[in-house]
C-alpha cells in the first residue's frame, strides 16, 4: 500500500447534488438502501470491467503451453 | 474467451531450476512447520494460482478485511480466510522477515517468508464465516481446533503434495490451455462433493445447453463423516461421463481443497476458484456448500448480488425433481404440476438406500453410478 492510500473502512467522495437526488429517486424500491451503496456497486462493476479490458496476455509462455498440451494429450484430455 | 484470473494475473509461486535446488538445501536448516493435508492442499493451490491473487497465507489486514467485508484489503472479492495456523511453540524461534520450511508428511513442500505472526479470535472467525458458533457445524468444529496464531506471508512451492488422483488433477494453467484448445469461449463450472444423481446431471446438462463446455470439478480432501469417499465420487463420475455425456463437451478434473460447509460465503469462494481455472459461468443449486439447516435453501444465490465485480457469471438453477406427470427430471420453474406428482431427489434418501444395500431407482440415479457405489465396501467417510 502506498503512502497516499487511505486507511480505514470508508471515505467520502463528492458528487453533484443533482446527481445525488436523481440516484436517490431511482433506487427507491430497488433493494439499494442508500445512494452510497448504489454508487459503490456501480463503481465496482465499472472498475472490474476496465481492469479486465486492460489485461491482454494470458501469462502462459509458448514453451509452457507446448508442455501443457503434451501432458493433456498424455492424459487423454486432447 | 476464458475468464481472466481473479485480480488480473494468474499467480505462479513455484520454485524452479537452481532456485528450487538451493531452497531445498536451505529448507533443511530452516525452522520447520509441519502442516496437515488441508494446509498442504492450500499451499499447492496458492502456488498454482487456484487462489489467485493470493501469493501466500493472509496477513492480518487481509484476514480481518475478509472476515468483515468479504474482500481483501485491496477491495478484491474474497470470502474465506486462507490462513496458516501455528502454536506459540512452533514460532518461538522465528520472527517477521525469517523464512520457515513447510513440511508435509516428512517432506519439505514449501518455504514461507514470514510477513506477520498474529493472534486471532476464534468466535469472531466462525460467526463471520459460518454465521454460527454451534460446535455441531463441521466447519465450526474444525476451525475451533486450529492453533492460536496465524502466520502470514508469501510462499514458494518446492514439491507438490502427493495426489492419489494425479491422473485427474489439472491446474488452472492447464485448464486454460485445454479450454482454449477445445475452442470453448463459455464454460460452466460445476462444484460438487457428492456422487452424481439425476438432479445433478439435469443441472449440468441444463447449463451445457447454453455454454460451449462443462467443467465438472469435484472437491477431494477433508469432508465430514457421512460424506462420500473421494474415490467413490471420482469413479462414479467416470462411469456417468462414459455412458451419458458428450465427451468433447466435458472436462472432468479434481480439486484438492477441504470443504468448509460455509454456505453462501463458500459459494463465492468456489466461484472465484473456478474463475481462476478459466470458467466463465458457475452453477449454483440449492443449499450450495450448506450443511444441516444452518443456511436458507437459496441463501447462496442472494450473496452474489453483493459482488458485481466477481468476474464470473453465476447460473442459478432451481432444485431438480422427478415429476411423474412430466415423466422426467424438471424443476419448479418449468413444471406446472402439483407436489403430488413430485419425487424430490434427496441425497439423504439415496444414502439411506445405499446403506440398506438397495439400488436407487433409475429416476433418481443412473444404474452404472449406483453400481459403483454399491460395489464399494465402504463408500462413506466414517471419521474425520
CATH superfamily, region B166-375: HUPs (3.40.50.620)
Number of folded domains that form chain A: 1
Give pLDDT tens digits for B274-322.
999 999 999 999 889 999 999 999 999 999 999 999 999 999 999 999 9
Give the closest-approach CA distance of B8 to chain A in angstroms.
Answer: 7
Angstrom distances, CA of residue B77 to CA of A44, B35, B219, B249: 10, 27, 21, 30
Helix axes B230-244, B367-375, angle to 10 degrees: 150
DSSP structure string for B253-319: -BEE------HHHHHHHHHHHHHHTT-SEEEE-TTTT--TTSS-TTHHHHHGGG-TT--SEEEE-PP
A20-71: pLDDT as tens digits: 999 999 999 988 999 999 999 999 988 888 877 766 556 788 899 999 999 9
* Residues in chain B whose Cβ is within 8 Å of chain A: 4-5, 8-10, 12, 69, 73, 75, 167, 170, 173-174, 176-178, 181-182, 251, 305, 308-311
| Under-50 pLDDT residues of chain B | none
Q: Which residue of B has its CA nearest to A41?
A: B308
At A3, is the pLDDT very low, low, confident or very high (cuts 50, 70, 90)? low
Hey, are the CB atoms on A64 and B75 less than 8 Å from each other? no
Active site residues per annotation of B:
193-194
In chain B, CATH 3.40.50.620 sits at 166-375
- Residues of B120-138 as b/e, b for ≥16 C-beta within 10 angstroms? beeeebbebbbbbeeeebb
Q: Which residues of B touch A68 (CB under 8 A)?
A: 173-174, 177-178
A14 within domain boundaries: yes
The reply to whether residue B308 touches residue A41, judged by beta carbons under 8 angstroms, is yes
Q: Chain B residue closest to A73 (CA)?
A: B178
Residue B384 is predicted with a pLDDT of 53
> Does B181 sit within 8 Å of A72, measured CB to CB?
yes
Residues of B with Cβ-Cβ distance to A63 under 8 angstroms? none
Q: Which of A55, A64, A77 sits opposite B8 (nearest CB)?
A: A55
Report the chain A residue with the minimal C-alpha distance to residue B312. Answer: A48
What was the pLDDT predicted at B235?
98
Q: State the pLDDT at residue B359.
A: 95
Contact B309 A64 (CB under 8 A): no
The verdict on residue A19 lying in a domain is: yes
pLDDT of residue A9: 82
Residue A46 C-alpha, separation from nearest chain B C-alpha, in angstroms: 8
Q: Among the residues of chain B, which ranges form H helices?
A: 17-27, 37-47, 60-69, 122-130, 138-144, 172-181, 198-210, 230-244, 263-276, 299-303, 347-355, 367-375
State whether A44 and B10 contact (CB < 8 Å).
Answer: no
Q: How far apart are CA B204 and CA B191, in angstroms?
A: 10
- Cβ–Cβ of B309/A44 closer than 8 Å? yes
Output the CA–CA distances (angstroms, integers) from residue A53 to B11, B175, B235, B272, in the order listed: 19, 22, 41, 19
* φ and ψ of B134, to 5 deg: -70, 120
State the cell numbers at B311: 468476474
Is A25 domain-assigned?
yes
Q: Which pLDDT score is estimated for B275?
A: 98
pLDDT value at residue B92: 95
Nearest CA in chain B to A57: B9
Specify if A30 maps to a domain: yes
Cβ-based contacts of B187 with chain A (< 8 Å): none
Cβ within 8 Å, pair A58-B170: no
CA nearest B304 in A: which residue?
A41
CB contact under 8 A, B10 and A65: no
Any domain includes A61 = no
Q: Per the domain annotation, does A24 fall within a domain? A: yes
C-alpha torsion A10→A13→A19→A24, nearest 10: 20
**Residue among B174, B176, B311 whose CB faces A71 most closely:** B174
pLDDT per residue as tens digits for the range B13-37 = 999 999 999 999 999 999 999 999 9
How close is the nearest chain B Cα to the Cα of A36, in Å?
14
Is the model's pLDDT at A1 over the cut of 60? no
pLDDT-derived band at A5 (thresholds 50, 70, 90) equals confident
pLDDT score at A49? 81
- Option in B69, B305, B309 nearest A48 (CB): B309
- Tell me, what's the pLDDT at A58? 63
Which domain covers residue A14, as residue numbers? 10-54
- Please say whether the structural domain B17-157 has been given the CATH code 3.40.1110.10: no
Amino acid at each position: 500500500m502506498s503512502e497516499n492510500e487511505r486507511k480505514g473502512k470508508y471515505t467520502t467522495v463528492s458528487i453533484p447534488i443533482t446527481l445525488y437526488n436523481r440516484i436517490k429517486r431511482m433506487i427507491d424500491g430497488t433493494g439499494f438502501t442508500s445512494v452510497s451503496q448504489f454508487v459503490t456497486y456501480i463503481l465496482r462493476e465499472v472498475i472490474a470491467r476496465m481492469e479486465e479490458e486492460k489485461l491482454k496476455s494470458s501469462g502462459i509462455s509458448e514453451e509452457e503451453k507446448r508442455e501443457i498440451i503434451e501432458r493433456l494429450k498424455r492424459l487423454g484430455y486432447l | 474467451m476464458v475468464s481472466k484470473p481473479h485480480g488480473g494475473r494468474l499467480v505462479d509461486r513455484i520454485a524452479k531450476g537452481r532456485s528450487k535446488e538451493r531452497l531445498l538445501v536451505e529448507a533443511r536448516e530452516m525452522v520447520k512447520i509441519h502442516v496437515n493435508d488441508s494446509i498442504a492442499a492450500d499451499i499447492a493451490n496458492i502456488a498454482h494460482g487456484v487462489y489467485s491473487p493470493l501469493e501466500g497465507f493472509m496477513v492480518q489486514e487481509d484476514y480481518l478485511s475478509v472476515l468483515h467485508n468479504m474482500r481483501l484489503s485491496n477491495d478484491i472479492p474474497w470470502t474465506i480466510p486462507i490462513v496458516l495456523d501455528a502454536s506459540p511453540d512452533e514460532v518461538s524461534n522465528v520472527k517477521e522477515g525469517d523464512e520457515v520450511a513447510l513440511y508435509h508428511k516428512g517432506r519439505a513442500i514449501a518455504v514461507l517468508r514470514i510477513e506477520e505472526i498474529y493472534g486471532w479470535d476464534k468466535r469472531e472467525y466462525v460467526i463471520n464465516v459460518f454465521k454460527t458458533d454451534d460446535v455441531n457445524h463441521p466447519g465450526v468444529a474444525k476451525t475451533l481446533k486450529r492453533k492460536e496464531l496465524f502466520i502470514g506471508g508469501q510462499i514458494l512451492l518446492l514439491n507438490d503434495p502427493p495426489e492419489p488422483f494425479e491422473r485427474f488433477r489439472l491446474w488452472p494453467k492447464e485448464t486454460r490451455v485445454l479450454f482454449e484448445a477445445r475452442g470453448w469461449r463459455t464454460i460452466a463450472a460445476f462444484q460438487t462433493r457428492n456422487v452424481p444423481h439425476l438432479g445433478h446431471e439435469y443441472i449440468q446438462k441444463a447449463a451445457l445447453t447454453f455454454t460451449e463446455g462443462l467443467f465438472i470439478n469435484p472437491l477431494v480432501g477433508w469432508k465430514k463423516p457421512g460424506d462420500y469417499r473421494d474415490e467413490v465420487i471420482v469413479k462414479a463420475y467416470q462411469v456417468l461421463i462414459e455412458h451419458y455425456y458428450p465427451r468433447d463437451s466435458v472436462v472432468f478434473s479434481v480439486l484438492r481443497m477441504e470443504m468448509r460447509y460455509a454456505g453462501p460465503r463458500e459459494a463465492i469462494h468456489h466461484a472465484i476458484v473456478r474463475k481462476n481455472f478459466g470458467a466463465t459461468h458457475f452453477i449454483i443449486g440449492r443449499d450450495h456448500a450448506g450443511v444441516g439447516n444452518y443456511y436458507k435453501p437459496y441463501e447462496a444465490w442472494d450473496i452474489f448480488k453483493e459482488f458485481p465485480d466477481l468476474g464470473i457469471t453465476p447460473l442459478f438453477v432451481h432444485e431438480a425433481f422427478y415429476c411423474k406427470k412430466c415423466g422426467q427430471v424438471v424443476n419448479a420453474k418449468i413444471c406446472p404440476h402439483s407436489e403430488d406428482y413430485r419425487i424430490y431427489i434427496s441425497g439423504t434418501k439415496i444414502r439411506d438406500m445405499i446403506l440398506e444395500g438397495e439400488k436407487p431407482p433409475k429416476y433418481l440415479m443412473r444404474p452404472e453410478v449406483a453400481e459403483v457405489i454399491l460395489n464399494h465396501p465402504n463408500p462413506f467417510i466414517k471419521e474425520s
